[in-house]
Amino acid sequence: MKSCVVCGKAGERHHIVFKNSGGFDFPLNFIYLCSEHHRGKNGPHKNRIVDLNYKISMQNELFNRLSEEYYAINDIVKILEINPRQAKVLVNDLAKYNKGYKTEDVIKKLMGGKFYYGFMIDENYKEWWNIPEEEIFLNK
């Protein structure tokens, strides 16, 4: 049994990008949390800031691991330790270029179809604010 990353008690798997939000089953998309840190008031299911911090950390790690501009599907499988069948689902509707799949497209899909930014942690941030991605610089 894996331990909670917060307190060390017995943990259960938590998907950082929830499966119902387009999350995939691969090691970077889950952490282990005890029941209190998973579903308690300070867990990602009830605390938006905790949830966003986990998502931003995952996204940053994806940008660290996928540092090239393009990747072939076999490289994605190897680097992210993702199941080849899931990798096919991942890239199914992504544009394929001569050099492979664009890193930003792959990461955005892994993040459930959107990018996460530090300013989203602000308590005054509202998700319905419509900020075009072209106006936001990714914090890589």
Residue 100's region, left for phi above 0, alpha for psi from -120 to 50, else beta, is left
Chain mean pLDDT for the chain: 90
Q: Give CA torsion, residues 29, 17, 117, 59, to 10 deg.
A: 20
Tokens of 108: 């955005």
Place 84 in a pLDDT band, splitting at 50, 70 and 90. very high
Alpha-carbon gap, residue 104 to 134, rounded angstroms: 13
In a domain, 6, yes or no: no
Which pLDDT score is estimated for 122? 76
C-alpha distances in Å from residue 48, one per residue of 52, 91, 120, 125, 130:
6, 29, 10, 11, 19
Tokens of 77: 């499988």
**Mean pLDDT score, 96-102:** 98
Helix 103-110 to helix 84-91 angle (10° resolution) is 110
Handedness of CA 11, 118, 57, 81 (dihedral sign): positive
In a domain, 102, yes or no: yes
CA angle 120, 121, 124 (to 5 degrees): 80
> Under a CB-based contact definition with an 8 Å cutoff, are residues 29 and 16 in contact?
yes
Q: What is the pLDDT of residues 109-122, one digit of tens each?
A: 999 999 998 888 87
Which pLDDT score is estimated for 13? 95
Number of domains the chain contains: 1
Place 5 in a pLDDT band, splitting at 50, 70 and 90. very high
- Domain residues for the domain of 54 are 12-135
In a domain, 87, yes or no: yes
Which pLDDT score is estimated for 140? 42
- Top mean-pLDDT range of 45-49, 57-61, 130-134, 135-139: 57-61
Residue pointed to by tokens 């996928």: 66
In a domain, 2, yes or no: no
In a domain, 1, yes or no: no
Q: What is the pLDDT of residues 54-81, one digit of tens each?
A: 999 999 999 999 999 999 999 999 999 9
Helix 103-110 to helix 48-65 angle (10° resolution) is 150
Share of the chain above pLDDT 90, in %: 81
Which pLDDT score is estimated for 132? 53
Which pLDDT score is estimated for 139? 44
In a domain, 3, yes or no: no
